Amino acid sequence: MGSTDQDAATTTAGGTAAGSSGRPAPARLMQTVMHALAAKTVYAAAELGLADLLDDGPLTTAELAERTGAHGPSLRRLLLALAGMGLVTQTATDRFELAEAGRPLRKDAPDSIRELVRMMCGPAVWRSWDELVPSVRTGEPAWDLAHGVSWIEYYAREPEEAATFNRAMAEHTRDAAPGILAAADLSRFGTVVDVGGGDGTLLSHVLRAHPGVRGVVFDVPTGLAATATTLAEAGVAARCEVVSGDFFVSVPAGADAYLLKQILHDWDDERATAILRNVRAAVPPGGRLFVIERAVPERVTPGDPAEIRDLLLDLHMLVATGGRERTEREFERLLDAAGFEQVRLTALPRFDFRVIEATPA
């Protein structure tokens, strides 16, 4: 399961965010707790579509209530909180307009994260976080405890929520794609397979950047629901095949390069190694594997916002999938166990991603 990677400042009990210096420890800790309430407030704005409604100009609470079907007085309280957070601007006592910081909540914004917010802060994920303590005690994924089934099974039976999840992953991949393309020279390959490639967003970027390359998007059927549309809109459908399957069984064989973007972090070491071994069985001599994953530190630096984000996302993987974020050394061990040799590692600072290029050992 993917995750958000926005560069928002993170306040911790140690007091790392701007303005926290010199504040008593209980106040700093309480500010951290209040971030949970802020997240749900942003979620409400995304779910109600307020950014889209305000995109054309200021509206009153009554006008917004009529268009959203909301209770006017309660909606005004939400709008005031959003104004305090800088996502909307209160232009008059009861009139609001969209602020620059709120524009990524628009559905069709080029930098939209609306679906990421709806997925990460929605009821399914938050019910899972309610089971964090039992998950820590037992090692069982919190999602399974909350829903009675794994996240894969859950999304298979909930197509609307699966669509939100897939759009959220596409939003994240869209933001990460330029850095990935800069780090991985894919122009030298004839065919590239994106294993677990979802709606094809990453491979669309690859094929648009390299007109001589052909592609294969490989995923489970629920992951491929919007793939044909994505490829067609990008103008690359003629050079890309869409293949349904299970990477725990096999992956399409014989391509020159294979991409695994944020796939391994969904799984424990045993299952991550199984995926890698199936790729190893498919890749020809001289072929390449590119693993794109976040890397957590071997030793934590207290108060580092990027590290805090990554470590919280590691907990999210425990909650949602039973997987984990890994260190560079742990990725090297996984690759070695699956029969790959790492030949290059490139860091992408914005997301703390690593692009790990490997070849069959």
Helix (H, G, I), strand (E, B) or coil at 23: coil
Of 112, 274, 305, 303, nearest in space to 201 by CA: 112
**Closest Cα to residue 233, out of 206, 276, 201?**
201
Catalytic residue list contains 316: no
Cβ contact 267:322 at 8 Å: yes
Running DSSP on this structure, what letter comes out for residue 239? G
Q: Tens place of pLDDT for every residue, the chain, 361 residues? A: 655 544 433 333 334 443 455 789 999 899 999 999 999 999 999 999 999 999 999 999 999 999 999 999 999 999 999 999 999 999 999 999 999 999 999 999 999 999 999 999 999 999 999 999 999 999 999 999 999 999 999 999 999 999 999 999 999 999 999 999 999 999 999 999 999 999 999 999 999 999 999 999 999 999 999 999 999 999 999 999 999 999 999 999 999 999 999 999 999 999 999 999 999 999 999 999 999 999 999 999 998 999 999 999 999 999 999 999 999 999 999 999 999 999 999 999 888 899 999 999 9
Q: What is the C-alpha to C-alpha distance for residues 95 and 124, in angstroms, rounded to an integer?
A: 33
Name the one residue in this structure whose structure tokens are 């390359």.
Answer: 213
Q: In degrees rounded to 5, what are phi and psi of residue 114?
A: -55, -45
Residue 334's identity, in one-letter code, is L
Check: CB of residue 360 under 8 Å from CB of residue 287.
Answer: yes
Cα 126 from Cα 122, distance rounded (Å): 6
- Tell me the pairing of strands 214-219 and 191-195: parallel
Residue ranges and CATH numbers for the domains of the chain are 25-108 (1.10.10.10), 172-360 (3.40.50.150)
8 A C-beta contact, residue 75 and residue 36? no
Q: Of 172, 205, 210, 265, which residue is the catalytic one?
A: 265
In angstroms, the CA 275 to CA 338 distance is 9
Distance in angstroms (rounded) separating the CA atoms of residues 129 and 320: 8
